Amino acid sequence: MQRSAPRLTRILACAAVPVMLVVAGCSSDSGDSGKPKAQEKTGASASATPSPSQTTKAVEPAKFAKLPQVCQSVSAKTTEVLVPKAKTKNGTPAVSSDLASRGGCSWNGLDDKGVKGSQYRWLDVSFYRYESDATLGSGQERAGQNLAKEVAKVEGTAGAKNLRTSVAAGIGDEAKAVTYQENKTGVNFVYTSIVARTGNVLVLLSYNGAGYSGAPTPTEKAITDGAVKAAKEAVASVAAANK
């Protein structure tokens, strides 16, 4: 009985300390291998941790490195047809702090036909270029994601009537066309917006028109056909600028 007293004393002492300490310091009779539990877990997790080379995802390089001169992305011949009597024949460039990543240009004018009324037209084109990024994805993927966002913005135009979205075939890698009408100060405007992606570049084009002083409202087909023609030229100018 005296021989077992030290063992009993030790058991009582262990019972008086916190549970976490019992595991670490009071298990000499449990038959452990002698290696601390914490070290065993650390070794297992370390061996399962992937190396930096395993976790880094390779992304596809951006297809296009630069943007075209935006006011020259649509030919002068086309802008003269789409926007007769444009205030600025060569277009008005949009202000941009980074022309390598974004730019825009617009044309607008009123073709006065006297007693037959007047026809107003407005054309706008913008470019956005996306770089490839290890965390955000390739430039092509980023442009595709933003295409959906830009289409949603157009679809959310306040006051839009008879809005319809369709696939615009034959324009870049993918494109959507949004057509609608909007009444401004008693005049009915017809709009067609095209959002197209070519590689890592997003092209946003809007074309609209209205008839004043008794002139007829332009047809949706005329406006859409004009927008499609200009969008194809704008998309083609991206590849031409990167040759």
Residue-level length of the chain: 243
Q: Average pLDDT per run of 10 along the chain, which is 243 residues long?
A: 43 38 38 46 43 63 97 98 96 93 97 93 98 96 98 97 97 98 95 98 98 96 98 98 96
Structural domains present in the chain: 5-49 (no CATH), 70-241 (3.40.1000)
pTM score of the predicted model: 0.76
pLDDT of residue 150: 98
Q: Give all strands of the β-sheet with 201-212 in edge-to-edge order.
A: 92-93, 102-112, 118-129, 201-212, 187-198, 174-184, 161-167
Residues 6+ apart with CB under 8 A from 19: none
What is residue 137's DSSP assignment? B
Residues 6+ apart with CB under 8 A from 32: none
